[in-house]
Amino acid sequence: MDAETLFPLGGSLPVRRLGFGTGGLVGPGYWGVRYEDSGRAVGVLRRAVERGVTLIDTADNYGPDVAEELVARALYPYPAGLVIATKGGVVRTGPDVWHIAGRPERLRAMCEASLRRLRVETIDLYQLHRLDPEVPMAEQLGALTELREEGKIRHLGLDSVGVAELTRALELAPLASVQNRYNLTERDSDAVLELCERRGLAFLPWFPLGHGALAESPHQGLTEVAARHGATTGQIALAWLLHRSPALLPTPGTGSLAHLDENLDAAGIALTDGDMARLDGAG
């Protein structure tokens, strides 16, 4: 990986911009385990860190609980410089079945449960998985700010927000990140990305490969650029994100060691201005 692609998360935690997401380590619909032999998932996590990944992105509802427990099993005690990001505020009750739970007492209980599963006293980055429309934003962010003041959270982030929500949230709490759906062909959050750039926030794009579509059924422009670089289309889609903005921190996930290495090799691809123009137009 390119050691120069660093981002100061929250202004205090330098991380390599290409990280690893744990959603691919759990079962379909983010439910249960993906592999009966959990050693496979443990091996992927350890390989990611061996390859230089310094940002691991997970969530309490992946499994539920499974992904956080795998992170701790594979990587605890955590090496110096490794940043663990997790999320709370969503309760999963089945494959692809979930509901938002943003009441302050529930958020506190979720955070403290994540602390236990991850075996840490402080979570580096805790992101509110969804804003609860039934609870005032000030109460939700107030609960997380209290946890931060108690030393249980180092930095706060939000998931799936628009410009107006992010602007309001920044008035209520110190934020370090946003995590929205964003990739080469899904750019509805361009304005959010621009706001993150102006305010020094990290933008963690989820589904950076379009839920696999950019690797499995890519469009012509992506195929052309990949051929010029002798790369896969998935690698070019990740390289596009890294070139698109210094605030973008993609965390693609996988349960395959070979696919992991392929993804991480994308950090070494230098796209030209012509490549970016071709991809921007095709996207």
Q: Which amino acid is at 172?
A: L
126 is catalytic: no
Residue pair 155/114 in contact (Cβ under 8 Å)? The answer is: no
Alpha carbon distance 27, 63 (integer Å):
7
Alpha-carbon separation of residue 67 from 16, 61, 93, 170, 273 (angstroms): 21, 8, 16, 29, 38
If phi over 0 gives left and psi between -120 and 50 gives alpha, with beta otherwise, what is residue 88?
beta
Alpha carbon distance 52, 20 (integer Å):
10
Alpha carbon distance 180, 171 (integer Å):
20
Instruction: Reduce the DSSP state of residue 69 to 3 states and report it.
Output: helix
Alpha carbon distance 124, 152 (integer Å):
9
Active-site choice (30, 35, 62, 182): 62
Alpha carbon distance 233, 248 (integer Å):
19
Alpha carbon distance 237, 187 (integer Å):
13
If phi over 0 gives left and psi between -120 and 50 gives alpha, with beta otherwise, what is residue 27?
beta
Sequential DSSP letters for 155-202: EEEEES--HHHHHHHHHHS---EEE-B-BTTB-TTHHHHHHHHHHT-E
Hey, which residues are catalytic here? 62
